[in-house]
């Protein structure tokens, strides 16, 4: 199936690793013009090299800490200078804090809100003028299975990732008349740095191996294993494509069946 990415200009934020990286690589392989951004200059340069080696198409790069005020405006200013318009935005920045409720400070709450929600708000707001100039414009945010099924010991991201569902639905309604689609992909447990770091930490605390920790958490997943970044990226890429022209306001779980609710 031709997804229609030839010449399509896509910005992927949080793209040096994990789901953002897999998305950017898949987009490049589909023929898109891709601009990738994240914080570490060496990390984003290495990601561009890997994508160029794998696809023959080198993405443009930008360095940005999207949690910092003004960073999204500067990043989208860079996109404006380069392309003058944007066809699709993917925001793959976010994460959780594993902690019980009472151990979380105001700073933890505000920091995680900025990481998961405010950074997306600022990025979308800065991107909208460029998306209006784009073709079949699309926005995809990264939520979490926890948006729909709160995980124990992760209250702060349970709250903030659920907020992204509301943001997605509201923006989809607000911008549908302009032809801008807004969707969210909600991964379950996906083997990226986020989980390898977490498993290593938990393994050290419990004096077991990281593989044991991963196996324990995989046991709760109906499909019996963690997802891969590529499996999540496939949904992000499809939703970003003109093939998904009639899909907006949706949060789609890619979670091996872990979220068992009906909605
Ligand atoms: N992996 C999972 O199991 C899982 C489950 C549910 C939801 N998700 C969601 O899926 C999304 C991607 O997760 P992932 O597992 O792919 O994460 P990851 O492997 O940790 O990769 C995160 C990417 O974002 C960049 N990044 C981090 N903070 C940033 C910032 N402030 N500004 C700009 N770039 C930043 C990182 O590069 P630098 O460090 O160089 O900036 C890296 O490229 C997140 O929203 C996460 O909450 C993941």
Q: Each residue's pLDDT tens digit in the chain (263 positions)?
A: 899 999 999 999 999 999 999 999 999 999 999 999 999 999 999 999 999 999 999 999 999 999 999 999 999 999 999 999 999 999 999 999 999 999 999 999 999 999 999 999 999 999 999 999 999 999 999 999 988 899 999 999 999 999 999 999 999 999 999 999 999 999 999 999 999 999 999 999 999 999 999 999 999 999 999 999 999 999 999 999 999 999 999 999 999 999 998 88
Closest residue by Cα to residue 256 from 233, 223, 229:
223
Which residues is 185 bridged to in the sheet?
A: 142, 252
For residue 95, give the ligand 1 atom closest to its CA. 47
The CATH number that applies at residue 245 is 3.40.50.720
Residue 100 lies in a domain: yes
Is 251 close to ligand 1, i.e. is its CB under 6 Å away? no
Residue 1 lies in a domain: no
User: Structural domain of residue 150, as residue ranges?
Assistant: 9-190+227-254
- Residue 177 Cα, ligand 1 centroid: separation in angstroms? 31
User: In the numeric block, which tokens belong to residue 180?
Assistant: 């801008």
Report how many domains make up the chain: 1
Predicted confidence at residue 244, as pLDDT, reads 98
For residue 194, give the ligand 1 atom closest to its CA. 20
Residue 202 lies in a domain: no
| Segment holding 205, helix H or strand E | helix 193-206
CA distance 101 to 84: 45
pTM: 0.98
Q: Is 38 in contact with 63 (CB distance < 8 Å)? A: yes
Predicted confidence at residue 137, as pLDDT, reads 98
For residue 66, give the ligand 1 atom closest to its CA. 32
Predicted confidence at residue 262, as pLDDT, reads 84
Is 95 close to ligand 1, i.e. is its CB under 6 Å away? yes
Which residues is 253 bridged to in the sheet?
A: 186
Residue 263 lies in a domain: no
Residue 160 lies in a domain: yes
Which residues is 61 bridged to in the sheet?
A: 36
Is 14 close to ligand 1, i.e. is its CB under 6 Å away? yes
Predicted confidence at residue 70, as pLDDT, reads 98
DSSP state of 154: B
- Residue 85 Cα, ligand 1 centroid: separation in angstroms? 25
Residue 198 lies in a domain: no
Residue-wise pLDDT tens digits, 167-190 = 999 999 999 999 999 999 999 999
Residue nearest to atom 25 of ligand 1 (CA): 14
Residue 201 lies in a domain: no
Pick from 156, 194, 201, 230 the residue to mutate for probing ligand 1's pocket: most ligand atoms within 8 Å of its CB. 194
Residue 222 lies in a domain: no
Predicted confidence at residue 94, as pLDDT, reads 97
């Amino acid at each position: 199936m031709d997804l229609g990415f030839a010449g399509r200009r896509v910005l992927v934020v949080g793209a040096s690793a994990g789901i953002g990286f897999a998305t950017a690589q898949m987009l490049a392989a589909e023929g898109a013009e891709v601009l990738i951004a994240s914080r570490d200059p060496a990390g984003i340069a290495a990601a561009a090299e890997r994508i160029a080696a794998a696809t023959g198409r080198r993405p443009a790069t930008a360095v940005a800490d999207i949690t910092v005020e003004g960073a999204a405006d500067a990043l989208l200013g860079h996109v404006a200078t380069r392309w003058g318009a944007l066809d699709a935005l993917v925001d793959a920045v976010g994460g959780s804090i594993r902690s019980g409720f009472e151990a979380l400070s105001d700073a933890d709450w505000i920091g995680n809100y900025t990481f998961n929600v405010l950074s997306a708000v600022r990025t979308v707001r800065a991107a909208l003028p460029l998306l209006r100039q784009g073709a079949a414009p699309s926005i995809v945010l990264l939520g979490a299975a926890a948006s729909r099924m709160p995980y124990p010991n992760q209250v702060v991201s349970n709250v903030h990732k659920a907020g992204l569902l509301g943001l997605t639905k509201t923006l989809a309604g607000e911008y549908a008349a302009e032809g801008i689609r807004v969707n969210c992909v909600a991964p379950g447990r996906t083997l990226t740095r986020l989980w390898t770091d977490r498993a290593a930490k938990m393994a050290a605390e419990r004096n077991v191996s990281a593989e044991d920790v991963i196996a324990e958490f995989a046991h709760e997943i109906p499909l019996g294993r963690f997802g891969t970044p590529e499996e999540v990226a496939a949904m992000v890429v499809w939703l970003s494509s003109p093939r998904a022209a009639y899909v907006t306001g949706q949060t789609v779980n890619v979670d091996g069946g872990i979220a068992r609710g009906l909605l």
